[in-house]
Chains A and B, each alone.
Chain A
């Protein structure tokens, strides 16, 4: 019973982090049509900037608020000066461009903060543990489990019910028609990419107190969020949510019933979904 509960909570907290990252990935893809390889690097940058801000002003909350905003500003620059030039080009070149950006960001982080591990302390409010079936469980993970769905609901509400959200969806559905009725699509694309970068960095800042910071910390999460968006259906929010939960729980329970082979489970899941339902749980007809 207690292992069940603990595994459940571990799976949920990792899943919610994955959900945040996958939401950014899937939003940018849904609107801009670009799959962003550098998304994991933006995640890492969010964590490092949060740490850097905490070195100046020792407040996690300030780092959480400001770090992702700085990364969003970087996103504006990247979209405006680099990505915008390749929308009309072959998909492979878009992927390679974002991969080149990833190389630059990864090495820049190594240059600025060194190759060593860094640790970020959780804020005092969330630093403790609470009793659970005679064991203790970190409060911070519960915080992650709550924050993920909150951000997700906020985004869903934004896209579904606000004027700006509708405009974004309209531009995603039919770019030319949106331009025809007066939407400034290039500006909108910049804003959406900045939103995606913000989401990635928010995930990074939130992950910072939970895992150690190293220049390759974005590698694992980007691969897993690729798996999430493929099994959930690329461009779908509910898909990202279900996919992330599924993957998070599979990984935490995998250690119980699969032991050593647990690390291969996400890929097996990917293979099964591809064979049974190639477009993913919530994907539209390809």
Chain B
């Protein structure tokens, strides 16, 4: 989806200011909040990749946790086997998730709407079941702990990712690159085709387009980036567990996207941030955070289907309208 940036000041200026603020955050905030922000960044990337399917292609997937978790497990297995490169771990995590997305997507993109949601849910749970039961490889319900994280090697320097600040900056860079990729995909001719399929797949098929192939490509991109987010999450938690693959985890990006708004590019990221801030606030008052979250979601779905960013965009008269 094309974003609606305010014209005032120009989008580039705002993007630079935002980036500067994001880079400065860990130096100004206490460690605890740096870690919360790291988690927000990871889940933002996860939610943004989900929204390539939901917002642009109109496909609601309830199985993205499967790819997220697969990325985490691939990275954990590589590092446990003595792998020494963070970069290779990131690549392996994303590649494993993209491959799985290719296989699962091949089956799922044949149907839409409710069926697509059910199928992705089913196959996501298949990955969960495998991760949960194949104890010899995945450690079963305990998961795979990361005992050591190799240093991040850049040309001329190496950083330890055990420091929360450097892990934050690394996560920021990786999730920004992922987000940039998604932004480019959304603006590319392929992104337009995806929207065309969402709007009218019969017409697209009649003019010679291949609906399933277009959807499959989007599914693989979304799955690969979910795997990237999962790998980062594995670094962050020093753990890969089957919980990441469970459908209740798969629902998180969907909830964040609805909260933030699916029609604006950064909506899911805003949703992720609000999600974690609400969680911080509410769990201080009550343990039943899910009841409150559910109630908020009911209100958002019923009355504000465009989410927070949708509300903001509606109040601003001077926004760039989506491309015709």
Q: Which residues of A contact B (CB under 8 A)?
A: 29, 35, 82, 85-86, 89, 91-93, 95-97, 99-104, 106-108, 110-111, 219, 223, 226-227, 229-230, 234, 260, 263-264, 267, 270-271, 274-275, 278, 286
Interface of A is mostly: helix
- B294 touching A104, Cβ below 8 Å: yes
- B133 touching A104, Cβ below 8 Å: no
Q: A263's contact among B122, B129, B293, by CB below 8 Å, is which?
A: B129
- B294 touching A260, Cβ below 8 Å: no
- B301 touching A100, Cβ below 8 Å: yes
Cα of A110 to Cα of B291 in the assembled complex, Å:
10
Cα of A89 to Cα of B258 in the assembled complex, Å:
14
- B301 touching A96, Cβ below 8 Å: yes
Stretch at the interface among B107-115, B148-156, B168-176: B107-115
Measured between beta carbons, the chain A residues less than 8 angstroms from B134 are 260
A41 to chain B, nearest CB (A): 10
B317 to chain A, nearest CB (A): 26
Measured between beta carbons, the chain B residues less than 8 angstroms from A110 are 288
- A100 touching B294, Cβ below 8 Å: yes
Segment 42-92 of B: residues with Cβ below 8 Å from A:
54, 58, 60
Interface of B is mostly: helix
- B107 touching A267, Cβ below 8 Å: no
Measured between beta carbons, the chain A residues less than 8 angstroms from B289 are 107
- B298 touching A260, Cβ below 8 Å: no
- B119 touching A274, Cβ below 8 Å: yes
Q: Which residues of B contact A (CB under 8 A)?
A: 54, 58, 60, 107, 110-111, 113-115, 117-119, 121-123, 125-126, 129-130, 132-134, 247-248, 251, 254-255, 258, 288-291, 293-295, 297-298, 301-302, 305
Known A100-B298, A101-B298, A104-B298; contact A230-B133, beta-carbon cutoff 8 A: no
Q: A89's contact among B118, B119, B305, by CB below 8 Å, is which?
A: B305
- A223 touching B121, Cβ below 8 Å: yes
Cα of A99 to Cα of B248 in the assembled complex, Å:
10
Measured between beta carbons, the chain B residues less than 8 angstroms from A29 are 114
Known A107-B290, A223-B122, A230-B118; contact A278-B129, beta-carbon cutoff 8 A: no
- A230 touching B301, Cβ below 8 Å: no
Cα of A29 to Cα of B117 in the assembled complex, Å:
14
- A100 touching B297, Cβ below 8 Å: yes
- A96 touching B258, Cβ below 8 Å: yes
B30 to chain A, nearest CB (A): 30
- B297 touching A96, Cβ below 8 Å: yes
- A35 touching B118, Cβ below 8 Å: yes
Measured between beta carbons, the chain A residues less than 8 angstroms from B291 are 103-104, 107-108, 111
Q: B126's contact among A234, A267, A278, by CB below 8 Å, is which?
A: A267
A227 to chain B, nearest CB (A): 6
- A226 touching B118, Cβ below 8 Å: yes
Measured between beta carbons, the chain A residues less than 8 angstroms from B294 are 100-104, 107
Cα of A83 to Cα of B75 in the assembled complex, Å:
42
Q: B114's contact among A91, A100, A101, A227, by CB below 8 Å, is which?
A: A91
B308 to chain A, nearest CB (A): 15
Q: Considering only CB atoms, which chain B residue lies closest to A107 in the complex?
A: B290
